[in-house]
Amino acid sequence: MPGAKGTIGFIRPLTDCFCSDCNRFRITADGQLRPCLLDDNGVDLKGPLRNGAGLDELRRLMQKAAASKPEQHCLNDGFVPGKSRILDIAAGYGQYLCYASKFGYDCYGLEPDKWKVYFVKKKLELLGMQNLSERIVHGFGEYIPFDESFFDCVTTFQTLEHVQKPKKVVSEMLRVTKPGGGIHIRCPDYRSTFEAHYQLPWLPLFPRYFAKLYLRTLKRPAEGLASIYYVTKGRIIKWLHKSAKESGCKIAVMNSDKIAFSNALQKSGIPDIPGGFELWRVLNWTRYIFRKELSVNLFVRVVEKERNGNI
């Protein structure tokens, strides 16, 4: 504003990632020196200062903090900094549950197949992780057996296309996610020209009657089509916003692929021009037409919930 004193700036860690050039530290109100504002790891300065630490000791602590400065924030990873309770929907053979637990996350797995729940429990026993056996739960995404706002982060990878009521699953994911938490959704986009389950060229939103004829002509089993729901990015975003509106919940939906694209350009020193990501998507789609599926990769931040609202 002409004549105004000072300036206003907007920090955009997702759309304009500047981590590679960041040389700043933050001191929190409780005396923690943090090398990254978006990382909960820090070095305690208050305790040593109150115990009479000298300049040499403080220098050593600051060097320790500098050495632990992460290369980049974790906002694109599908996790929320400082938030650790995670639900993995369709836990399968428990790989996610095991690895997340090893890295210190308080992880739960929800699995609709009882034999897989049994398998994961046996697997945990063989790995010496019996204490996690109660974290693998039999259940369905349409009726998640946990209280409202129980999880910091909910994930679903290559699952939403197989559930009977994907809109209900999306609603349930919102219900069990805390305000300030997030949801990570990855699945195929059935506007694709390739079907990954059958590993075959495919028509976008292939009409099922003709899809069955196509599969039978190729002597491929058509029964599997009954377990596939034609999800698309647009439909999922629509379900998210509708469920949020019905529950009085405020959300922010981010395209993780677009964020990764912008970050890659930033690292390469290439300007991120308007429409660049969409152009890249079109070129990539053209390159892999009938050879690779489109995918949905969304991260949903649950900004706010009504205090006594239910989804």
Domain at 281, CATH number: 3.40.50
pLDDT tens profile 38-95: 555 678 888 888 888 888 888 888 887 777 666 555 545 444 445 489 999 999 999 8
In a domain? residue 279: yes
pLDDT at 79: 46
pLDDT at 45: 83
Is there a single domain that holds both residue 43 and residue 171?
Answer: no
In a domain? residue 186: yes
In a domain? residue 278: yes
Is there a single domain that holds both residue 55 and residue 85?
Answer: no
In a domain? residue 235: yes
Structure tokens, 149: 């706002």
pLDDT at 80: 46
Is there a single domain that holds both residue 157 and residue 174?
Answer: yes
Is there a single domain that holds both residue 287 and residue 260?
Answer: yes
- Length of the chain in residues, anyone? 311
Is there a single domain that holds both residue 148 and residue 203?
Answer: yes
Is there a single domain that holds both residue 45 and residue 86?
Answer: no
Is there a single domain that holds both residue 289 and residue 156?
Answer: yes
Is there a single domain that holds both residue 32 and residue 149?
Answer: no
Is there a single domain that holds both residue 81 and residue 227?
Answer: yes
Q: Per-block average pLDDT, block size 10, for the chain (311 residues)?
A: 65 56 73 70 80 86 75 51 79 89 89 94 90 93 95 93 94 95 94 93 96 95 92 95 93 89 83 87 90 92 73 46
DSSP state of 176: H
Structure tokens, 82: 């400082």
pLDDT at 27: 80
Is there a single domain that holds both residue 27 and residue 160?
Answer: no
Burial class (CB in 10 A: 0-12, 13-18, 19+), 147: exposed
Smallest CA-to-CA distance from 136 within 89, 104, 171 is with 89
In a domain? residue 260: yes
Is there a single domain that holds both residue 52 and residue 86?
Answer: no
Distance of CA 222 to the CA centre of its chain: 32
Structural domain for 153, as ranges:
76-90+141-304
Provide the number of structural domains found in the chain: 2
pLDDT tens profile 2-19: 676 666 665 555 445 566
In a domain? residue 40: yes
Q: How many angstroms separate the CA atoms of 276 and 262, rounded?
A: 9
In a domain? residue 110: no
In a domain? residue 42: yes
Is there a single domain that holds both residue 146 and residue 66?
Answer: no
Query: Do 86 and 146 contact (CB within 8 A), yes or no?
Result: no
pLDDT at 62: 83
Count of other CB atoms within 10 angstroms of residue 158: 14
Model-level pTM?
0.71
pLDDT at 116: 94
pLDDT at 53: 83
